[in-house]
Amino acid sequence: MKIFIDASLLIYLNIPLPDSEASIIENFYKELLSEELYTDILVLDETIYISRKKYSVPQKDTIEYIDRAVIPYVDILPLTDQEYEKAKMFIIKYNLKPSDVIYLTVISNYKINFIAIENSDF
């Protein structure tokens, strides 16, 4: 099964949480590791930015976490002009945020089956 990993999951894995919540998130991620996992550079960007801005996690710590817990297990898909062309259509048709449209476009272009996401728009 091909699964796109959204920033929300990566952020929750990166920030301090109560033990009970952290355990749930970590176990979910461990279960996902048996699947084909994908994301893109915008997700990593958002993970670094939101972790710092909202949760005060130093960028260096988030980068180390991504290098240790994400990069070895999740394929980073490229963003090209093909994603832009399809994204224009999704922006107009569904009125989504541009970052969400990029995710949707990548998921569509790479025929990914599922999204690990918290966003109710999806």
Q: Each residue of 34-53: pLDDT tens digit?
A: 999 999 999 999 999 999 99
Residue 122 has pLDDT above 60, yes or no: no
Beta carbons within 8 Å of 119's beta carbon, 6+ residues apart: 6, 8, 100
Domains of the chain, earliest start first = 2-116 (3.40.50.1010)
Q: How confident is the model at residue 119 (pLDDT cuts 50, 70, 90)?
A: low
For helices 7-14 and 19-32, the axis angle rounded to 10 degrees is: 130
Residue 68 has pLDDT above 90, yes or no: yes
